Chain A
Amino acid sequence: MFRKTLEIGTSPHIISGNSTDTIMRNVVYALLPVAAYAVYVFGLAALLLLITALGACLLTEYMLNRWAGNPSPLNDWSVTITGLLYGLTLPPHLPLWMVFLGGVFGVAFGKFIFGGLGYNVFNPALVGRAFIQAAFPVAITTWMTPFTADRFAHIPSSTLTLPFLEPVYDITSGATPLALMKFEHHTTDVYQLVMGMTSGSTGETSALLIVLGGLYLIARRMMDWRIPVALLGAVYILSTFFHFIDPTRYPDGLFMLFSGGLMLGAIFMATDMVASPITHAGAALYGVLIGIMVYVIRVWGGLPEGVMYAILFGNAVSPHIDNFIRPRVYGTGKKRSLS
């Protein structure tokens, strides 16, 4: 009465509902409010920039994978995160041709040549940004004032600069809070930083929305909270300590936490699972290392902002942290007190 053939397979015969594409899709959800607010703050320039960044990354991933014979590379959503994050790290009025070029570079040289998803050493979005920083150092450090009145009616001329031409700026440029701090020793009010009312990269302005996105992912257990907590904690402790020693030279902890790309980097970039350590202890160490690097570059380095280089540095040491910090295997070595 029963059928002749049965399906066989090896145990376990049940699996949890976890799925890589679900995790990635939720990171995209968490980023959407940040992106939407960026468009609200910077207008059409930000919208075009995000579309271009996303398009460049998706197109590159698709073309390269088709060329390599990998089927359906886009359905894991990881490159969508890369595209959004990459766009959010750029100044809002950056010429679109530069945006496109950096996106292609980030996906091709940050991800594809390492073997694609799961094998990249560095966060591909930051590789793309690092490329822009090296190739167009002026363009990437020219900032636009937020909330300009005609931001939804007018596309800045720099955005539409023709490929390989120098951008012409027709907007008032504003210095970022970190640049003001570094070069003019002027500290911006923390409330303005939290609410995203300052100049800065497209997505780094509202710390509040970034934190909310992070809390969402942490609540869904799709992000290791230890990384942002360790990273931000290290920055806060260091800056509070030095601020205590010399308040005129060193900015205070809250200003350091909420300015620049730190929140976006700590919550959405440093936590890239592929490029961060796999153990809890390793993740905490990795966060602290990046936090120290951020502080060192910001305060003693030549640049006002150091989050990108600090995270790339963290990505580079991450495999070594995994090699170095290994949990004690059950039944080996010295026994910890259990239960």
Chain B
Amino acid sequence: MLHSMFSNHLPTFRHGIHPPQFKDDTKDKPIRHFPFAPVMVIPLAQHIGKPSVPVVREGQEVVRGQLLARADGFVSVPQHSPASGIIKKIGRVPGITGKMVPGIYLEPFPGSSQEVMEGRPVDVETATADDIIRAIQDAGIVGLGGAAFPTHVKLKIPEGKHADTLILNGAECEPYLTTDHRVMLEQAPDIMTGLRYLLKATGAPRAIIGVESNKPDAADNLRAHIPPDLPVTVELVEVKYPQGAEKMLITALLGREVPSGGLPIDVNAVVVNVATCAEVGRLLPRGRGIQERVITITGPGVEKKGNYWIPIGTPLRYVLEQAHAAPDINRVFLGGPMMGTAVSSLDIPITKGTSGVVAFRDAEAFARQNKIYPCIHCGACVEACPLFLNPSKLGILAKFKEYHAMASEYHLMDCFECGSCTYVCPSHIPLVQYFRMSKLVLRNEKAKKIHV
């Protein structure tokens, strides 16, 4: 706080990196609708938590927006039909990791008008906080920023805690992605409606929308749409990765630090992605479930780069064909290049957590096959880590399999795998990969102990 009095710097967190943006190709492209694929693939677990349970049978005809699978408990969300069509098969479908996972194959009717089925609307004035939280779960909403954590779980404030600020995350710090940017430009009324539901659900007295300063048009548009009675402000934050990480945005906007191992609510904050909020504002007044989402399709291997409404369950192959991707693309990842997942197959579908599809060709093999040198203690990773960890030391400990020391002495478990250390490392050491593996080893060990 003191610091900002002496400088006109934008609110931000300390450390972090400045990767190239690559957003110019798509940031001015309005969101367009996408055709229905001949076969849709709907995994039952598109969220963090328990998979949903099918309520339809093979051969059944369904309409767009109809419930296909119900939530299984509180930390779970239902799936709705992305199109009117016929259930071809309930079984195993290709998942994002390349493994087969439980899911549903749906064949849309080619000639259908694809009207969306509506349910019981939720009136923000008369509904209670719990009504809204239940309605958000019923709509199948998860964090659209990429984490795919069920939104209603975040909104349920635990006993004894309270939220004083609701933060809408419009940072979009991942290179290449422009979905949140477009949503803020084109769906501001939905965002404001969504905010009413979210404020009521959390009981927070105010909301701040944090937008990276490379999107001033989005911030201006949001400000212009704030209804007079809504306690919302829009704040620009520095363009820096990972500004859009929950913890970093809370620190930038509120000057608070989420305690190690804790949640935003421990510092009285709830963070929701702007597109998720827009979805709440669009779906709840009509009682609908989520059946499509906005996705940036881009990368040097794609001809028709842009932002699209894509039905959930559309196979990647179809997405890339429609976007006129080059036949020789050899690297495709879902989400941004910093935290996204490279896919091994184009048969996997777009899911609720997919914010972008980025494709590269041979010629632009991006993460070049660089020679790995030993760590030279240059300290670049220490300067990059937004959590003030020591990736250099952690990397050396990982090499010697000192997993317990990594966790107990060097806070391994706090790492949220933003990739900043790996990005800056001049020795090209795959630090984040080491940390993921080390965490996995420790988790497996813990699981084993519980079994014994």
Contact residues of A with B, CB < 8 Å?
A: 1-3, 5-16, 18-23, 76, 78, 115-119, 224, 273-276, 278-280, 283, 322, 326-332, 335, 337-339
Smallest Cβ-Cβ distance to B343: which chain A residue: A6
Q: How far is the CA of A326 from the CA of B410 in the complex (A)?
A: 10
Q: How far is the CA of A1 from the CA of B425 in the complex (A)?
A: 37
Residues in chain A near residue B433, CB distance under 8 A: 10
Contact assessment for A7 and B331 in the assembled complex, using a CB-CB cutoff below 8 Å: yes
Decide yes or no whether B365 CB sits under 8 A from chain A.
yes
Q: How far is the CA of A3 from the CA of B325 in the complex (A)?
A: 12
Decide yes or no whether B332 CB sits under 8 A from chain A.
yes
Contact assessment for B342 and A76 in the assembled complex, using a CB-CB cutoff below 8 Å: no
Contact assessment for B379 and A16 in the assembled complex, using a CB-CB cutoff below 8 Å: no
Please report whether the interface of chain B is mostly helix, strand, loop or mixed according to DSSP: loop
Contact assessment for B367 and A9 in the assembled complex, using a CB-CB cutoff below 8 Å: yes
Q: What are 19 A-B interface contacts by the 8 Å CB criterion?
A: A6-B329, A6-B343, A9-B367, A10-B436, A11-B337, A11-B417, A11-B432, A14-B175, A14-B366, A15-B368, A16-B17, A16-B423, A19-B370, A116-B374, A118-B377, A273-B377, A274-B376, A329-B388, A332-B260
Q: How far is the CA of A118 from the CA of B393 in the complex (A)?
A: 12
Q: How far is the CA of A118 from the CA of B374 in the complex (A)?
A: 6
Given A8-B342, A18-B380, A339-B12 contact (CB < 8 Å): yes
Contact assessment for A329 and B432 in the assembled complex, using a CB-CB cutoff below 8 Å: no
Contact assessment for B3 and A329 in the assembled complex, using a CB-CB cutoff below 8 Å: no
Q: How far is the CA of A14 from the CA of B333 in the complex (A)?
A: 12
For the complex of A and B, 9 pairs with smallest distance between CB atoms: A118-B374, A12-B419, A18-B426, A331-B260, A20-B373, A330-B387, A13-B337, A327-B388, A8-B342
Residues in chain B near residue A6, CB distance under 8 A: 329-332, 342-346
Contact assessment for A117 and B387 in the assembled complex, using a CB-CB cutoff below 8 Å: no
Residues in chain A near residue B28, CB distance under 8 A: none
Decide yes or no whether B390 CB sits under 8 A from chain A.
yes
Contact assessment for B327 and A1 in the assembled complex, using a CB-CB cutoff below 8 Å: yes
Contact partner of B2 (CB less than 8 A), chosen from A5, A16, A337, is A337
**Proximity string of chain B (308-335) to chain A, C-beta cutoff 8 Å, 1 when within and 0 when not:** 0000000001001100010111111100
Given A6-B343, A331-B260, 11 extra CB contacts under 8 A: A2-B329, A10-B432, A13-B338, A15-B367, A15-B370, A21-B373, A22-B426, A115-B374, A117-B374, A331-B261, A339-B12
Q: How far is the CA of A274 from the CA of B392 in the complex (A)?
A: 11
Residues in chain A near residue B330, CB distance under 8 A: 3, 5-7
Given A7-B331, A11-B337, A12-B422, A329-B317 contact (CB < 8 Å): no
Residues in chain B near residue A20, CB distance under 8 A: 373, 376, 378, 426-428
Contact partner of B342 (CB less than 8 A), chosen from A13, A283, A327, is A13
Smallest Cβ-Cβ distance to B421: which chain A residue: A12
Q: How far is the CA of A273 from the CA of B424 in the complex (A)?
A: 15
Contact residues of B with A, CB < 8 Å?
A: 1-4, 11-14, 17, 19-20, 175, 247, 251-252, 255, 257-262, 317, 320-321, 325, 327-333, 337-346, 365-368, 370-371, 373-380, 382, 386-390, 392-393, 411, 414, 417, 419, 422-428, 430, 432-433, 436
Contact assessment for B342 and A10 in the assembled complex, using a CB-CB cutoff below 8 Å: yes
Q: How far is the CA of A267 from the CA of B99 in the complex (A)?
A: 54
Q: How far is the CA of A119 from the CA of B374 in the complex (A)?
A: 8
Residues in chain A near residue B379, CB distance under 8 A: 224, 273, 278-280, 283
Q: Could you tell me the distance in whole angstroms from the C-beta of A202 to the nearest C-beta in chain B?
A: 26
Given A12-B422, A331-B247, A278-B377 contact (CB < 8 Å): yes
Q: How far is the CA of A338 from the CA of B256 in the complex (A)?
A: 8
Contact assessment for A335 and B390 in the assembled complex, using a CB-CB cutoff below 8 Å: no
Contact assessment for B260 and A329 in the assembled complex, using a CB-CB cutoff below 8 Å: yes
Contact partner of B338 (CB less than 8 A), chosen from A3, A11, A119, A276, is A11
Q: How far is the CA of A12 from the CA of B429 in the complex (A)?
A: 12
Q: Could you tell me the distance in whole angstroms from the C-beta of B244 to the nearest C-beta in chain A?
A: 15
Residues in chain A near residue B419, CB distance under 8 A: 11-12
Q: Could you tell me the distance in whole angstroms from the C-beta of A323 to the nearest C-beta in chain B?
A: 9
Q: How far is the CA of A331 from the CA of B13 in the complex (A)?
A: 13
Q: How far is the CA of A337 from the CA of B317 in the complex (A)?
A: 49
Contact assessment for A9 and B342 in the assembled complex, using a CB-CB cutoff below 8 Å: yes
Smallest Cβ-Cβ distance to B252: which chain A residue: A339
Q: Could you tell me the distance in whole angstroms from the C-beta of A82 to the nearest C-beta in chain B?
A: 13
Q: How far is the CA of A273 from the CA of B332 in the complex (A)?
A: 37
Residues in chain B near residue A9, CB distance under 8 A: 331, 342, 367
Contact partner of A13 (CB less than 8 A), chosen from B11, B247, B340, is B340
Given A23-B378, A279-B379, A3-B1 contact (CB < 8 Å): no
Residues in chain A near residue B370, CB distance under 8 A: 15, 19
Residues in chain A near residue B247, CB distance under 8 A: 330-331
Residues in chain A near residue B345, CB distance under 8 A: 6
Q: How far is the CA of A133 from the CA of B430 in the complex (A)?
A: 41
Residues in chain A near residue B14, CB distance under 8 A: 338
Contact assessment for B2 and A274 in the assembled complex, using a CB-CB cutoff below 8 Å: no
Smallest Cβ-Cβ distance to B374: which chain A residue: A118
Q: How far is the CA of A307 from the CA of B367 in the complex (A)?
A: 42
Q: How far is the CA of A332 from the CA of B15 in the complex (A)?
A: 16
Q: How far is the CA of A337 from the CA of B11 in the complex (A)?
A: 13
Q: Could you tell me the distance in whole angstroms from the C-beta of B394 to the nearest C-beta in chain A?
A: 11
Contact partner of A2 (CB less than 8 A), chosen from B1, B20, B325, is B325
Residues in chain A near residue B261, CB distance under 8 A: 331
Residues in chain B near residue A329, CB distance under 8 A: 260, 387-389, 411, 414
Contact assessment for B390 and A8 in the assembled complex, using a CB-CB cutoff below 8 Å: no
Q: How far is the CA of A15 from the CA of B421 in the complex (A)?
A: 10
Q: Could you tell me the distance in whole angstroms from the C-beta of A271 to the nearest C-beta in chain B?
A: 11
Contact assessment for B332 and A338 in the assembled complex, using a CB-CB cutoff below 8 Å: no
Q: How far is the CA of A1 from the CA of B262 in the complex (A)?
A: 47
Residues in chain B near residue A273, CB distance under 8 A: 376-379
Residues in chain A near residue B251, CB distance under 8 A: 330, 338-339
Contact partner of B328 (CB less than 8 A), chosen from A3, A10, A13, A322, is A3
Q: How far is the CA of A326 from the CA of B339 in the complex (A)?
A: 27
Contact assessment for A2 and B374 in the assembled complex, using a CB-CB cutoff below 8 Å: no
Smallest Cβ-Cβ distance to A278: which chain B residue: B379
Smallest Cβ-Cβ distance to B259: which chain A residue: A331
Contact assessment for B373 and A76 in the assembled complex, using a CB-CB cutoff below 8 Å: yes
Residues in chain B near residue A14, CB distance under 8 A: 19-20, 175, 337-338, 366-367, 423
Contact assessment for A331 and B321 in the assembled complex, using a CB-CB cutoff below 8 Å: no
Given A13-B337, A331-B258, A279-B382 contact (CB < 8 Å): yes
Contact assessment for B328 and A337 in the assembled complex, using a CB-CB cutoff below 8 Å: no
Q: Could you tell me the distance in whole angstroms from the C-beta of A268 to the nearest C-beta in chain B?
A: 15
Contact partner of A117 (CB less than 8 A), chosen from B366, B371, B373, is B373
Q: Could you tell me the distance in whole angstroms from the C-beta of B267 to the nearest C-beta in chain A?
A: 9
